[in-house]
Amino acid sequence: MQLQLRLLQKQLRLRTLKLSNTFLVVGLGNPGPNYALNRHNVGQMLLDVVAARFGETFKAHKSNALVAEVKIIGGPKLILAKPLSFMNLSGGPTSSLMSFYKLDPESLIVAHDELDIPPASFRLKQGGGHGGHNGIRDIISAIDTNDFARIRLGIGRPPGTSDAADYVLKNFSSSEKTELAVTLEIAADALEEVARNGIVAAQGKYHAPTESDTA
């Protein structure tokens, strides 16, 4: 009962967040072709899917990021950004882009890999801690708040006693790539839903919200 009450309170708070006409969507990863297909870069892979839908390509931006701007028909504009810094320095480009476009944290959505979510699935989350993710940690530090939306793309834990740090820097397996393509298309739909109607509406459409989606 207490859990249900806390979830209801959080959902009511999220519904009061204003919807923006422009969203900055940051896909986390490491720069360069050597990292492009790593599990750690799945957030940037999602942005590639979204940009391709709108026929846009990424261009260098002075905020140390690659940027593509797309407009959802009848909806808001999405500024898709892939930082050119390494993962643990994602905060600098994110903060610079927010300043350049004059956006506040309510207009920020971050897409990133998540070890604690199974492959071929994703969760939408508003606020909460960094969960040990260094990219999220640095963004929270740089913009001085944790209250922004996240698209947490599941990569699962490594098998056995394999090191997680090595695991995230390896490419997806052949079998994972097939499932990943489908997951990224659905996650791209979810991103558009978040931008159009807010994260609570998107959670209701793509998965039932739990306390971990705001913790």
What is the number of alpha carbons within 13 Å of residue 147 lying toward its C-beta?
A: 8
What token pair was written down for 151?
Answer: 């698209």
Distance of CA 166 to the CA centre of its chain: 21
Phi/psi at 73 (nearest 5 deg)? -60, 125
164-196 CB burial, b ≥16 within 10 A, e <16: eeebbbeebeeebeeebeebbeebbebbbbbbe
C-alpha pair distances (Å), 44 with each of 17, 66, 142? 26, 10, 20
pLDDT one-digit tens code per residue, 190-211? 999 999 999 999 999 998 666 5
Query: Cα Rg for the chain, rounded, in angstroms?
Result: 16
What does the chain come to in residues?
Answer: 215
Q: Looking at per-residue confidence, does 160 or 26 come out higher?
A: 26
Spatial CA neighbour of 193 closest among 19, 3, 11:
19
Distance CA 4, CA 210 (A): 9
Q: Which of 40, 61, 112, 133 is catalytic?
A: 40
> Element (H or E) spanning 65, and its range?
strand 65-71
Distance CA 198, CA 203 (A): 9
Spatial CA neighbour of 126 closest among 107, 154, 144:
107
- β-bridge partners, 69: 79
Q: State the average pLDDT over residues 176-201.
A: 95
Average per-residue pLDDT for the chain:
90
Of 1-15, 38-52, 148-162, highest mean pLDDT:
38-52
Q: State the average pLDDT over residues 83-106.
A: 97
pLDDT for the residue 16 = 42
Is 40 considered catalytic here?
Answer: yes
- Given a cut of 60, whether residue 79 has pLDDT beyond it is yes
What percent of the residues of the chain are helix, what percent strand, and what percent coil, each to the nearest 5? Answer: 45, 20, 35
- Given a cut of 80, whether residue 212 has pLDDT beyond it is no
Domain 19-213 class, CATH top level: alpha beta
Distance CA 48, CA 57 (A): 8
Q: State the average pLDDT over residues 13-37.
A: 83
What token pair was written down for 152?
Answer: 């947490």
pLDDT for the residue 160 = 83
Q: Map residue 1 onto helix, strand or coil.
A: coil
Spatial CA neighbour of 124 closest among 136, 133, 112, 140:
112
